[in-house]
Amino acid sequence: MTLQASEQAAYYYEAQRQARDVRTISCGNRELRLGEKTLVMGILNVTPDSFSDGGQFDTLEAAVHRAHDMVEEGADWIDVGGESTRPGAKEVSLEEELSRVIPVIRALVESGLPVPISVDTYKSEVARQAIEAGAHVLNDIWGGIREPELLRVAAANDCPVILTHNREVAVYTDFIEDVCSDLQHMAEAAIDAGVNSNQIWLDPGIGFAKSREQNLLLMNHLTRITSLGYPVLLATSRKSMIWRTLDLPVDQISAGTAATLVYGIMQGCAAVRVHEVGEMCKAVRMADAMLAAAALTDRDSERTR
């Protein structure tokens, strides 16, 4: 290992060690425990046109069944989305999105789902009704840019909000610096809107307003984002960065997704968002075990000094 590679590995480990400070994030009548392990968010798309699982879980019974299956497979929370975010996807109306997600959230709550539920939306009215229906976390792919009122909904309900990096126009002066600055500004806007800083999550926005090369570059600088002081959710599952790099169909890139998750965990990401919960949990738990072993080795070394 070269000196540069060794220094980079040490930087990754230090970011992960800092991210492992254990604390609890309140989610209404649920909670998320940070630091004990990498948290796994299971994706529940209730859309007919999702790029990866469109139509598969868009009936109420199927959606509830799938959510409970993901919890059995190891999901720490379930993310319900009613509008596809794939490139070129047609935006759905407020009424259509509400008709898709609200019945599912209610059904999940009534079924006794034992983990927090997040709603994947940038619409403030969807966010408001989702929380009323029993959702615990807001997951905004526009980070409060498209509808700033969503931040006030989060503040009024004291619920966690995930701010994803995104831009209307993908033009950058200094790509990594611009992404970090955008995320910092998003967090500050959330705080100004009344959101408790302890309830803010960041998502680097892999696949949003970025080229494949920029996504790959960002994957190598995730420590810049984890060092901003907020827990980071990494959402790379089945993203075009992976299938374009591997030149494979989206249903054949599980290994590529797993590689990105482990790389992100080593850089301090606190949670990952995935479609294939069972398989990805294996990769996540292995990464956690390696980091735990590294921490024990460091402690033993300090004791013998």
Hey, which residues are catalytic here?
239, 273
Neighbour count for residue 62 (Cβ, 10 Å): 15
Closest CA to 104 of 160, 45, 49, 153: 45
Cα–Cα distance for residue pair 155/31, rounded to 1 Å: 17
186: buried, middle or exposed (CB in 10 Å: 19+, 13-18, 0-12)?
buried
Read off the tokens for 231: 């827990």
Starting from the edge strand earliest in sequence, which strands make up the sheet with 39-45, in order?
200-203, 161-164, 137-140, 117-120, 77-81, 39-45, 271-274, 233-234
Per-residue DSSP letters for 2-42? -HHHHHHHHHHHHHHHHHT--EEEEETTEEEEESSS-EEEE
Which residue from 117, 79, 68, 64 is spatially nearest to 274, judged by alpha carbons? 79
CA–CA separation, 112 vs 117, rounded Å?
11
Q: Which phi and psi angles does 31 have, rounded to 5°?
A: -150, 155
Q: Which two tokens stand for residue 159?
A: 């619920």
Determine the 3-state secondary structure of 163 from DSSP: strand
Residue at 48: amino acid letter: P
Name 195's Cβ contacts closer than 8 Å, sequence gap at least 6: 151, 154, 155, 161
